[in-house]
């Protein structure tokens, strides 16, 4: 069964450093998403991406965050200057050609900011 893959599985970064989280969505999917989950809290939407542009973003997704699809397969989340409160699990998800379809999640990147 096709999967969403994410790398790295765990990233440890000093506060203030830039970090890039990588995702390879399922190949025939067209909608891509990033979510985060702070330990012990619910999964929160960050941003959705369709047709090579951001469709929607949440209040969490401020100017420190950016997304990119640099080639036909990768989908990246960049945090420009990390803060302690950015420590969380970051999940990438993708869904097929129509919105409102169930989304398939990667196994996440655990980001730890020191």
Partner 1 sequence: RKEVEQDPGPFNVPEGATVAFNCTYSNSASQSFFWYRQDCRKEPKLLMSVYSSGNEDGRFTAQLNRASQYISLLIRDSKLSDSATYLCVVILSGGSQGNLIFGKGTKLSVKP
Q: Which residues bind partner 1 (CB under 8 A)?
A: 31, 33, 35, 41-45, 48, 50, 55-56, 58, 89, 91, 93, 95, 99-108, 110
Residue closer to partner 1 by CB (options 75, 91) is 91
Record the tokens describing residue 65, joined without a space: 């965050």
Residue closer to partner 1 by CB (options 14, 102) is 102
Q: What is the 3-state secondary structure (H, E, C) of 31-45?
A: EEEEEEECCCCCCEE
The CA radius of gyration of the chain, in Å to the nearest whole number, is 13
Q: How far is the CB of 37 from partner 1 (least distance, A)?
A: 9
Residue closer to partner 1 by CB (options 82, 94) is 94
Record the tokens describing residue 7, joined without a space: 């790398």
Rounded Cα–Cα distance for residues 55 and 30 (Å): 12
Q: How far is the CB of 105 from partner 1 (least distance, A)?
A: 4
């Amino acid at each position: 069964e096709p999967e969403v893959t994410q790398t790295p599985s765990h990233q440890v970064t000093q506060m203030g450093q830039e970090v890039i989280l990588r995702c390879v969505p399922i190949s025939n999917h067209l909608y891509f998403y990033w979510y985060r989950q702070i330990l012990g809290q619910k999964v929160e939407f960050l941003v959705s991406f369709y047709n090579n542009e951001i469709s929607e973003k949440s209040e969490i997704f401020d100017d420190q965050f950016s997304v990119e699809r640099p080639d036909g397969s990768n989908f990246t989340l960049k945090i420009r200057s990390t803060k302690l409160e950015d420590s969380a699990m970051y999940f990438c998800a993708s869904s097929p050609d129509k919105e409102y379809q169930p989304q398939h999640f990667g196994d996440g990147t655990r980001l730890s900011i020191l």
